[in-house]
Structure 1
Amino acid sequence: MDEVLVRAVGVADVGALQELIEADPGYTERITGCPPGEADAQSLLLMRPEGVEEDAKVVLGAFVGDRLVAVVDLIRGTRRSGRCLSGCFRLHSNQQGRGYGRTAYALAERFVEDTWPEIGTLRLAVVDTNAQVAAGFWERQGFEATGEVRPYVYDKLESTARLYEKQLGE
């Protein structure tokens, strides 16, 4: 496997990020009920939960050379200090099965440990409409279901989000 480097993505990366999103329309459809939109990359970079400061969010891109192979959206300190929420993790569809997803996630986790030392818990939600694809991946990364469930509604899509957590430093 080629070397993977992780860095924050920004406006200059919008084209590569949009291409990554459009490469796997099934993910977007499972999460939103709609195909990818032309501004999804820009939305991923800018959107954050209400009350979350701009500097509490980072979108990391995993690159092999100049190719964006994965992206992870991280939000520090949501609802309770000491936690980091992963709002989105996407792997380019033509890079699946090569170990880039596992590597990109491990580098994102290292970023959290190095950049936000106050974070002790990573948290994410797996939406039932995407669980067949996502749940196993997160369990292999060391996440455990908390048993917490929340209603998930995006436009006309109604589902359930199941929360997972991983303690850092274990």
Structure 2
Amino acid sequence: MAGSALHLHRVHPDNMGDAEAVFDELGTYSMHVDGCPRRPEAAYDFATELPPGRDARHKHAFVAYRDDLPIGLLDIVEGYPAPSIAFIGLLAVKERLHGKGIGRQLYTEAERLARQTLRARTIRLAVVEANPVMGFWRKMGFEPTGEVKPYLGQNVRSRVILLEKPLLAPDEEHLQG
């Protein structure tokens, strides 16, 4: 599995069961952000929830596959909170696969999508303070914006810390290095 390619497929009714299967293996994440092993509506919310001012055409939710097996989830909202920003709502890998570089690969795909397809100049996300993933996002090049907002999960009260990373436009990539 380690050497095979990662493929993203948009979430739709035919693969919603695969999104559910990934959420079934995100128990630790669910405990950190919701205080329960898994919310029954988690996959549906992943596929449909949008921030204010955005509609379905701005939502890009994917199941990540390797060797035809669902291994992760990616949600990016186009143009939120500003037109040149892509917002990662969720990037998750089945917990038994952590530490194998899959999260980094999935993030690389997210950044490529944000830069090349969505034409974003910045990629942004929010980390629930109770979820210990700040180190991963710092390694991916994200920095805190200084914005911190209250967070209320199903059974968890915490804060979200907003992070951003500037992106090079596709025609600027050759200038780096």
Q: Under a length normalisation based on structure 2, what TM-score does the superposition of the two structures give?
A: 0.88
Contact 2:36 2:155 in 1 (8 A): no
**Match for residue 108 of structure 2?**
106
In 1: Cα distance, 2:136 partner to 2:46 partner: 22
Gapped regions of structure 1 (runs ≥ 5): none
Post-superposition CA distance 1:47-83 (Å, at most 9, x none): 1123211100111222112111111110011232111
In 1: Cα distance, 2:62 partner to 2:110 partner: 7
Larger CA deviation: 148-157 vs 14-23: 148-157
In 2: Cα distance, 1:70 partner to 1:105 partner: 11
Runs of 4+ in 1 over 6 A off after TM superposition: none
Gapped regions of structure 2 (runs ≥ 5): 169-175
* CA displacement at 1:107 relative to structure 2: 0.9
Whether 1:167 and 2:162 are equivalent positions in the alignment is no
* CA displacement at 1:84 relative to structure 2: 1.0
**Match for residue 121 of structure 1?**
122
**Match for residue 148 of structure 1?**
147
* CA displacement at 1:7 relative to structure 2: 2.8
2:57 to 55, 58, 71: 55
Contact 2:26 2:95 in 1 (8 A): yes
Q: How many residues align?
A: 167
Post-superposition CA distance 1:65-108 (Å, at most 9, x none): 21111111100112321111111111011221211110011011
* SS of structure 1 residue aligned to 2:70: strand
**Match for residue 172 of structure 2?**
none
In 2: Cα distance, 1:43 partner to 1:148 partner: 24
**Match for residue 44 of structure 1?**
46
In 1: Cα distance, 2:109 partner to 2:81 partner: 24
In 1: Cα distance, 2:40 partner to 2:129 partner: 25
Post-superposition CA distance 1:1-52 (Å, at most 9, x none): 2111223222211111111111121111211122213332122101112321
* SS of structure 1 residue aligned to 2:18: helix
Contact 2:18 2:63 in 1 (8 A): no
* SS of structure 2 residue aligned to 1:129: coil
State the AA in 2 paired with 1:97: G
* CA displacement at 1:156 relative to structure 2: 3.9
